[in-house]
Structure 1
Amino acid sequence: MDFQVYDIAIVPIIVALVQLAKQIGLSVKYQPVLSLILGVVTGIVYVAPSDPKQAILVGIVMGLAASGLWSGAKNIVQK
């Protein structure tokens, strides 16, 4: 797994995109889901386009890091 240090810079970009979606009107409940989707898409398109397993794994990690694993789970479960 050749994960570059500058790939970590994607996490704040995901956070910024989710915040933009929040300001547009995205519900707090769906913000962690959007973060995870953006992470996986970024993993597939940018980080490891030739290795889908690695891309999905890295994408999940980036999405969870951007949303905050525990706060994201709490927002999804709450009504």
Structure 2
Amino acid sequence: MFEIYDVALIPLIVGLVQVLKTMGLSRKFLPLAAIIFGIGGGIFYVYPDDIKGGIIVGIMLGLSSSGLYSGTKNTFEKQGECDS
């Protein structure tokens, strides 16, 4: 069963995507990377015995992490515009 502490994978995924970004991965592939990391976490950590459940939860984790990343980025960019 998906537990509340499994949500801790989201910041981990954000961090892994950030590493890929600093390594030069194109920005247009970052959301896809987040979903792939999410699916990997869903299959191997959350639901190791249920591939379908792991994929579904992994997609949710990946989409949540890409939303967290873009929301944070947009917040800081807008704040920088206001400071000028």
Q: Distance in 2 between matches of 1:51 and 1:24?
A: 33
Q: Which has the higher contact order (CA 8 A, sep 6+)?
A: 1
2:23 counterpart of 1:24? yes
Q: Distance in 1 between matches of 2:38 and 2:25?
A: 17
Alignment of 1:49-60 (within 5 A): 49-60=48-59
Tell me the residue number matched to 1:3.
Answer: 2
Tell me the residue number matched to 1:38.
Answer: 37
- Percent identity for Structure 1 against Structure 2: 51
Q: Distance in 2 between matches of 1:13 and 1:52?
A: 21
Q: What's the CA shift string for 1:21-57, capped at 9, x where partnerless?
A: 1011111000000000000011111100101111000
Secondary structure, aligned partner of 1:68: helix
Tell me the residue number matched to 1:68.
Answer: 67
Q: Distance in 2 between matches of 1:68 and 1:8?
A: 14
Query: How well do the aligned residues superpose, as a CA RMSD in angstroms?
Result: 1.4
2:23 maps to a residue whose letter is I
How many residues matched?
A: 69
Unaligned runs of 5+ in 2: 71-84
